[in-house]
Structure 1
Amino acid sequence: MFNQFSRWQKILIPVISVILGLIVGAIVMLVSGYNPIEGYTALLSGSLGEGFYIGETVRQITPYIFAGLAVAFAFRTGLFNIGVEGQLLVGWVASVWVGLAFDLPKVIHLPMAILAGAVAGALWAFIPGLLKAKLRVHEVIVTIMMNYIALHLCNYLVRYVISDEQNTTDRVPESASLKSPFFETLTEFSTMHYGIFLALAAAIIYFVVLEKTTTGFELRSVGFNQHASEYAGMNVNRNIILSMVISGAFAGLGGAMEGLGTFGYGFIHGAFSGVGFDGIAVALLGGNVASGIILAAALFGILKQGALIMPLQSGVPTELVEIVIAIIIFFVASSYIIAYLLQRLRKGAK
């Protein structure tokens, strides 16, 4: 549907989505007896008001970029990867495992640990890709189920393999860490790390692969019409698997950013992190293009970080903050409805 709009209209649709979310969120705060101006001021202050908050916001943005790229890559190739959350978790644990298992120079150790996260995510996504290609099992069902398998498998590995029956692993050594003393000083000891540069590089790779390579053309063609692609001589099954593998690699890298950067260790997850699921909204808001995903991830990073400070500075209860954030995300995810309404208005005006 978005293809029917001009460039400025494609930009306008997600902007309208965000504005509507903010307006409805403000109404909810007003009805609940709170000042929305104070609430949103606190949200911005808690995400961009100080060096520490800016660093924490950038740190939040990093995995959102990877999650958005993972979901969007599958979207662009005709697949719906709901398993980004699970792929992110296995990438997280794999990167920490490699970080703890070897004693190597940083120039070797850190790339190896990051690569382990990408490979783990790719292998986890390979399974639903193979089932889709060979048996036509719907990837949505498989990836959803594999999220739960990933959650409990990772918890088992953390407790019984990587640690000595503990809820957390040891911290990865400096040779496998993405943390930066420079960023710590610059952002008043926030958890910001070098991962943001890797995320931006991944967005560039995403663009180049999909838009500038023959492989990307084939992947998009298969996603658009499998029968026509097969008639043109393309290997449809191979491209389905490859698409899921690349999508999973992006997700696994997002997990590596958390394991080697934000936290620096693995731990027992009582529930999903939510980053992989939010990646769906990030991809939708970003229009499945690299630049849009970066901007959408920035919005989500601001919302998530600001929401932590919003109750303290404005008095808005945490539960209400979560409702407001959920409303904004709802309108973001409903951007296709807004596109449909704009299309109807445009037809009515003719």
Structure 2
Amino acid sequence: MSDATTTTSGATPPTVPTPPTPSGGDGGDSRGSRLLREITTGNAAISVLAVVLALVVSGLLIGFTDQDVQSTMGYFFSRPTDFLQAFGASVGGAYVSLFQGAVYNFRVDGFAAGIRPLTETLNYAVPLIAAGLGVAVAFRVGLFNIGARGQMLMASAAAGWVGFSFHLPLALHLPLALAAGIAAGALWGGIVGLLKARTGAHEVILTIMLNYIAFYLLAFMLRTQGLLQAPGSNNPKSPATLETAILPDLFGPSYGLNWGFILVIAITAAVWWLINRSTLGFRFRAVGENPHAARTAGMNVKNIYLYAMLISGALAGVAGSTQVLGTLTSGFTSGIDAGIGFDAITVALLGRSRPWGVFAAGVLFGALKAGGYSMQAANGVPIDIVLVVQSLIVLFVAAPPLVRSIFRLPAPGARPVRKASTKEAVVTK
């Protein structure tokens, strides 16, 4: 009796079997679904969807402001198909013209003539990519560099002065002019880094003030004989760049693309290596993530700020130099930056401060600029609609939760909710 009691009391309670984990992943989450979730919730997907949303909203603006569409709205309920046809023709025609002006014009004969718009797009993209990379490098260190305009202006002045003042062989003159522009941009950015590191001044205020200083300093030099003003001229314009300092055409004179495009490809690869593979790039990323932790780890945060702004200004200097030596070779004015310095901020934001992302964003904005003129000429759409697209892109890029909610995407790191099967529910009970 006691043995039976002992055996019963000492018996181990039955163990509830654990439901088997489905093969192919973590807790029923297959490798394919994990990969798909990472793609759809990543920064690249958000940027692409932001562009799509911007184009959709801009299409609505184009359609509803079209006169033919507005005329059909008066009798919409009696003949809605007229409204839909007019709306589709307006938006579709505008975006077809945008494509023809930016990528390929299929209305001309021959591939060589049809592909010419793409070279114009890439030409517009060259300074956007270079200046965008400069802003992106500063972003990675936690600095908000909005002084790309001033850095471009100073680089243009230096590169332009070397370009028209010296008579040298091409192999020496062109590199010297590029080096002068890059050095001037680095110097103008380095002033911000030095003041930030030594005095703690805010880089936003510094760059804004230096933008104004650069603009009025360049305007003064363009109005002063012996500095940048063309000899014998009363106009605030520089002399033409000498042929030995002009970037050669990449595909011949019939296309609007020069070797500056090859230069920005090399620079993009160099910046990628700097950020992701070099020791200095690791320090940049560490300071950008947490400057206090980086300082505790023994990094000189002040020097990092200085180095970052020097490199950022140098990259913006590439943008200014290519403008003078490749695009506006007949002489330049104080408006040579053409708003590129501020567009570079948008390019860096859309590219998520990743070098190749900035490259793609620069090409996209170059396409919007090149195709915008074609859209205006063919369809009467105001060129300002391009600015609307750019602004909407910034809006959606700055609000990832809004994009995810519109497209019903899960948040990053969120795991899909898997309903338990009937068998698992019974075993659990």
TM-score (structure 1 length as normaliser): 0.91
1:304-337 deviation line (CA, Å, top 9, x unaligned): 0111111111122x2xx31x22232123213131
Cα deviation for residue 235 of structure 1 reads 1.2
Cα deviation for residue 266 of structure 1 reads 4.0
Q: Residue type of the partner of 1:12? A: A
How many equivalent pairs are there? 338
Distance of 2:92 and 2:313 partners within structure 1: 40
SS in 1 for 2:223: helix
Q: Residue type of the partner of 2:99? A: L
Cα deviation for residue 156 of structure 1 reads 1.6
Find the partner of 2:278 among 197, 213, 219: 213
Cα deviation for residue 67 of structure 1 reads 1.2
Structure 1 unaligned segments of length 5 or more: list them.
Answer: none
Distance of 2:293 and 2:125 partners within structure 1: 38
Contact 2:125–2:363 (8 Å) recurs in 1: yes
1:38-61 deviation line (CA, Å, top 9, x unaligned): 111111111222343222211101
Matched residue, 1:171: 240
Matched residue, 2:228: 162
Q: Residue type of the partner of 2:315? A: F
Distance of 2:212 and 2:299 partners within structure 1: 34
Q: Residue type of the partner of 2:394? A: A
| Residues 150-159 or 24-33, more deviating | 150-159
Distance of 1:21 and 1:340 partners within structure 2: 13
Matched residue, 1:121: 185
Matched residue, 1:295: 360
TM-aligned CA distance change 1:236 to 1:285, over 3 Å = same
Matched residue, 2:390: 329
2:199 aligned with 1:135: yes
1:62-115 deviation line (CA, Å, top 9, x unaligned): 001101101100001110100011111111111011111211111111111001
Distance of 2:200 and 2:264 partners within structure 1: 32
SS in 1 for 2:253: helix
SS in 1 for 2:129: helix
Higher relative contact order (CA 8 A, sep 6+): 1
Contact 2:135–2:348 (8 Å) recurs in 1: yes
Distance of 2:197 and 2:337 partners within structure 1: 28
TM-score (structure 2 length as normaliser): 0.75
Instruction: Give the 5 Å matches for 1:1-350.
Output: 6-8=38-40, 9-33=42-66, 35-48=90-103, 49=105, 50-160=114-224, 161-163=227-229, 164=231, 165-180=234-249, 182-185=251-254, 187=255, 190=256, 192-269=257-334, 273-316=338-381, 318=382, 321-322=383-384, 324-334=385-395, 335-339=397-401, 342=404, 345-346=410-411
TM-aligned CA distance change 1:181 to 1:67, over 3 Å = closer
TM-aligned CA distance change 1:55 to 1:13, over 3 Å = same
SS in 2 for 1:162: coil
Q: Residue type of the partner of 1:41? A: V
Distance of 1:137 and 1:211 partners within structure 2: 28
Cα deviation for residue 179 of structure 1 reads 3.4
SS in 2 for 1:114: helix
TM-aligned CA distance change 1:42 to 1:340, over 3 Å = closer
Identical aligned pairs, as a percentage? Answer: 36
Contact 1:47–1:302 (8 Å) recurs in 2: yes
Cα deviation for residue 234 of structure 1 reads 1.2
Distance of 2:337 and 2:168 partners within structure 1: 32
Distance of 1:218 and 1:284 partners within structure 2: 21
Q: Which has the higher helix share?
A: 1
Q: Residue type of the partner of 2:164? A: L
Distance of 1:194 and 1:339 partners within structure 2: 40
Cα deviation for residue 271 of structure 1 reads 8.3
TM-aligned CA distance change 1:38 to 1:280, over 3 Å = same
| Residues 242-251 or 37-46, more deviating | 37-46
Cα deviation for residue 20 of structure 1 reads 0.6
Contact 2:156–2:320 (8 Å) recurs in 1: yes
Distance of 1:56 and 1:272 partners within structure 2: 17
TM-aligned CA distance change 1:266 to 1:145, over 3 Å = farther
TM-aligned CA distance change 1:229 to 1:238, over 3 Å = same
TM-aligned CA distance change 1:53 to 1:145, over 3 Å = same
Q: Residue type of the partner of 1:162? A: L
Contact 1:46–1:309 (8 Å) recurs in 2: yes
SS in 1 for 2:58: helix
SS in 2 for 1:25: helix
Structure 2 unaligned segments of length 5 or more: list them.
Answer: 1-36, 68-89, 106-113, 418-429
Distance of 2:290 and 2:63 partners within structure 1: 48
Q: Residue type of the partner of 1:29? A: I
Contact 1:151–1:272 (8 Å) recurs in 2: no
1:265-322 deviation line (CA, Å, top 9, x unaligned): 4422258521111111111111111111111111100100111111111122x2xx31
Distance of 1:89 and 1:11 partners within structure 2: 32
